[in-house]
Amino acid sequence: MKQNVIFGIDVSSKSSTVCVVMDRIKQGATFTITNDSFGYQKLYDHLNQYLITPLVVLEATGVYSLSLQAFLEDYHIKYLRLNPLKAKKLMDNNLRHNKTDKVDAYRLALIQFNAPQRLQKPQSREYHELQNASRYYEELTKAVVVNKNQLHRNLQSTFPQIERILSNPTGTIYWDIVSMFPHAKSVLNLNETQVMQKLLSLHGIGHQRAQTLTATLYRYARQAYPYDRQDGITVRAIERNISNLISLNDERTQVIDYMEKLAKKVNARALTIYLSIPGIALTTAVRLIAELGDLRRFDTSAQIDAFVGIDPGRYQSGEKDSHLGITKHGNHIARKILYHSITQMESVKAVQPCHITDYYDKKKQSSHSRGYKKIAIASMHKLIRTLFALITHNQLYDYNIATKNQRL
């Protein structure tokens, strides 16, 4: 083993506990540093006491460990950042369970002696910015879902029929129509010409469509029997929901534009490769780059499986050796996007064939016992192998080549 001095650091919100271990033997007393420039200077002084710069081992404790990571990267200090679930498993496997910050720091340091983990070169800060943008997009998407549900609930007591005005009750045109007519009386209090003029003011609605929508709105408004008043608080809540949805949708668009520019800056070729795969559009492509990072830092596709948490789990005790489901120890957002990618591929397979959807459909038809989710996870493995192969060999996706490659 190259490194024989390990600094185990248990990171908390305001301070961190540090334990120094050399050849499995604790060196001196465990000490505490504050998570700021003064604390990191103290850590740096301790690190400089050794001829060979020690390796630092820490848990990825969300936002709390980022400041320490920035310091370690700025001073070119090698570090191993462990997923908390994986760290707990490794610590529980090798040592007695005794939970304190001092013990955790010691146990973190021992991991690299007892079960050495592969070190990865830190990615550029642009990748971190991309991931921040991806997580922000995720938050915006959740807020969209909340407001859509609230809008649906609120309309039930003012004008539920309007949800059938378009084939798909979502998007800017639908929200604009509901904003104009949040209550059945919003239609009935106007004449047909006034309703039609309102509709014609909306972008994307022509004269003929406005006529059809006007007739439909009047029919629905006459059917409605609202519980809440037109001047009540529910109408105000509907207007707020729509305002939020339009704002959130615009913000999501701007975030994807920002991510596209950043992705082109850090790895334009990867973006082009991802977009060449059937079913993967811009939003999915930039978010995959953000969450998976530079795939060239991995040696095998199996390492990417572990990174996103779709590697198979295993339980071994005595003579019992059981293979479990996926570990779910990795990047859950990346896992979610990959799963969504499979459904996107399925939706376009008629016009954009892909060897992954061929596999998915074949498994669905031939297997009655395996659930669709298991088949989707197996398809995610294939997608990861495909992404890794294309990036490694700097090639765009080609269906004819992919169908002949047994490794994909």
The confidence score (pLDDT) of residue 245 equals: 98
Concatenating the DSSP letter of every residue in 9-61 gives EEE-SSEEEEEEEETTEE-S--EEEESSHHHHHHHHHHHTTSSSPPEEEEE--
CB < 8 Å & 24+ apart, contacts of 299-302:
299/118, 300/388, 301/381, 301/384, 301/385, 301/388, 301/389
Does residue 315 register a pLDDT over 60? Answer: no
CA 225, CA 160: separation in Å to the nearest integer?
A: 9
Q: Parse the chain into domains and list their residue ranges.
A: 5-122, 129-252, 268-404
End-to-end CA distance of the chain: 34
pLDDT digits (tens, 9 = 90+) for 172-192: 999 999 999 999 999 999 999
**The predicted structure's pLDDT at residue 324:** 44
31 has a pLDDT exceeding 60: yes
**pLDDT over 70 percentage in the chain:** 90
What is the C-alpha to C-alpha distance for residues 226 and 235, in angstroms, rounded to an integer? 11
User: Helices then strands (H, E): number in the chain?
Assistant: 16, 8
Mean pLDDT of 294-309: 92
For residue range 206-255, what is the model confidence (pLDDT) as tens digits?
A: 999 999 999 999 999 999 999 999 999 999 999 999 999 999 999 999 99
% of the chain surpassing 90 pLDDT: 76
Confidence of residue 101 (pLDDT cuts 50, 70, 90): low
Q: What count of other Cβ atoms lies within 10 Å of the Cβ of residue 84?
A: 12
Angle at alpha carbon of residue 195, lines to 183 and 207, rounded to 5°: 135
Asked whether the CA dihedral 365, 371, 372, 378 is positive or negative, the reply is negative
Top mean pLDDT of 72-81, 258-267, 326-335 is at: 258-267
Tokens 């949800």 label which residue?
A: 163
Residue 97's pLDDT is 47
Distance separating alpha carbons of residues 43 and 7, to the nearest angstrom: 10
* More confident call, 148 vs 310: 148
Average pLDDT of the chain is 90
The amino acid present at 401, given as its one-letter code, is I
Average pLDDT over residues 60-88: 87
Check residue 205 and give left, alpha or beta (phi > 0: left; psi -120 to 50: alpha): beta
Least trusted range by pLDDT, from 136-140, 364-368, 370-374: 370-374
Query: CA-CA distances (angstroms) from residue 23 to 5, 6, 82, 395?
Result: 7, 8, 20, 45
Highest mean pLDDT among 68-72, 108-112, 116-120: 68-72
pLDDT confidence of residue 323:
42
Which residue(s) pair with 14 in the sheet? none
Give dist(CA 183, CA 323) in Å, integer.
57
Residues in the chain: 408
**CB distance 220 to 164 below 8 Å:** yes
pLDDT in tens, 260-295: 999 999 999 999 999 999 999 999 999 999 999 999
pLDDT of residue 128: 92
- Per-residue pLDDT at 247: 98
Pick one of 3.40.718.10, 3.40.50.150, 3.30.420.80, 3.30.420.40 as the CATH number of 5-122. Answer: 3.30.420.40
Phi, psi (deg, nearest 5) at residue 294: -80, 110
**If pLDDT is split at 50, 70 and 90, which confidence band does 321 have?**
very low
pLDDT value at residue 369: 53
The predicted structure's pLDDT at residue 126: 93
Burial class for 43, CB neighbours closer than 10 Å (0-12, 13-18, 19+)? buried
User: Which tokens sit at 100?
Assistant: 């304190």
